[in-house]
A and B are shown apart, each in its own frame.
Chain A
């Protein structure tokens, strides 16, 4: 009975704080995406026309986001039935967009307006280990093109 109470409180705690953090993060992502809209990102390796003289520099953004207890239980149940793991979808989405935003932020500081050859790397911190906090790392990197004066 005692275990059940602990379990339920963790679940509720995870749900409330997880939801709060998530909605706040999404708001902030939308806000900053609007501010950095003018920095264009490309996955091509070739230079866009007009940038032959620009200097290239590596920019990157790295983020680690952890799941909450509720998401963990929810995804565990999803493991039994199969289907879209919606609990993790938001997590990965947040991590990817945040990583790109941090990369763009770095490019902005360097005075660049375009980033080419953008790549995303995803890594799971816990590597599926039991009894570990599941968290995901996303690293976004690319070549910022800084126009030469």
Chain B
């Protein structure tokens, strides 16, 4: 018997397609699927959240509140009293539902910041208060945070974070690879932020209406954004990466509002004289 060793042509066992082409098609596919998923979840979260009673949100927040109070330096005192008082007046102007209770916490920290969280809690830092020239500017900040609570934004954001996280984890579970998960987490970073910017815009608008209702004008509503603008200079993040819309954009929106509603005339309310004392 005669044996031969014929030459076998190359490329039978190996696909000849360029590996990068394959990779980018798959990456695009995964990106689209995830974007679609997040979009649907966000739409659902926004519309379903209205049916969650505020009491439930407060219960959820109970442990969170404890944690924040323990870790951060919350200082009760006359600042706290004053802030709570102002918030209560704004709540009436903003016509919050009866069940929604707003609690303001004064934080002894240098950060120029204020935020609203689950359960109707608003935290305001000393750093921000020190920069406030009058009550109207401070009222804009508080009204903005109250509007977030009125719109149930903290709950939507938390819920969305959870659902998206869970959805991605199970997706990655099917993938059975920590690395696929890594790819996915990089994609989702850029897509979830856009929606909270919508929330910011809605809260700005609601806050302006509140100021108009309470003071009869919206003077000094843009002060806080001027302050942020000054802070942002030098460390400006591109707009698509930041959760909040650019301060300059927000100042423009306020200008528009003032012209539309003719709310650019009135007198500013000063802060109490002791306000910037320690």
Partner-B contacts on A (CB < 8 A): 1, 3-4, 7, 15, 19, 30, 37-38, 40, 48-49, 70-81, 84, 86-87, 89-90, 92-93, 128, 130-131
Contact = CB atoms under 8 A, between A and B. Distances in A.
Interface of B: 1, 3, 5, 10, 13-15, 17, 19-20, 22-23, 26-27, 29-30, 171, 174-180, 182-183, 186, 189, 241
Given A7-B186, A37-B5, A86 B175 contact: no
B52 to A, nearest CB: 33
Contact of B19 (A1, A30, A86): A86
B64 to A, nearest CB: 26
Binding site secondary structure of chain B? helix
Contacts of A7: 182-183, 186
Contact of A77 (B23, B176, B186, B189): B23
A4 B186 contact: yes
A100 to B, nearest CB: 12
Nearest to A36: B5
Contacts of B179: 72-73, 76
B109 to A, nearest CB: 25
B30 A77 contact: yes
6 contacts: A7-B183, A79-B175, A86-B15, A87-B19, A87-B22, A128-B176
Nearest to B171: A80
B5 A15 contact: no
A79 B213 CA distance: 57
Looking at A3, A77, A128, the one whose CB has the most chain B CB atoms below 10 A away is A77
A4 B188 CA distance: 12
B175 A76 contact: yes
A48 B182 contact: no
A81 B28 CA distance: 12
Contacts of A73: 23, 179-180, 183
Given A49-B1, A72-B179, A93-B14, A81 B26 contact: yes
Contacts of A70: 19, 23
Contacts of B1: 48-49
Contact of A76 (B10, B14, B15, B177): B177
Considering the complex of A and B, which 3 residue pairs feature the smallest CB-CB distances, nearest first?
A76-B180, A86-B15, A76-B177
A7 B182 CA distance: 9
Contacts of A30: 10
In this complex, which of B29, B174, B179 has the most chain A Cβ atoms within 10 angstroms of its Cβ? B179
Given A38-B5, A76-B183, A84-B15, 19 more contacts: A19-B19, A40-B3, A40-B5, A70-B19, A70-B23, A72-B177, A72-B179, A73-B183, A74-B19, A76-B177, A80-B26, A80-B30, A80-B171, A80-B175, A80-B180, A86-B22, A93-B13, A128-B176, A131-B178
Contacts of B176: 79, 128
Nearest to A78: B26
A86 B15 CA distance: 6
Contacts of B13: 89, 92-93
Contacts of A3: 186
B172 to A, nearest CB: 9
Contacts of B14: 86, 89-90, 93
Contacts of B3: 40, 48
B5 A74 contact: no
A97 to B, nearest CB: 9
A74 B178 CA distance: 13
Nearest to A91: B14
Nearest to A38: B5
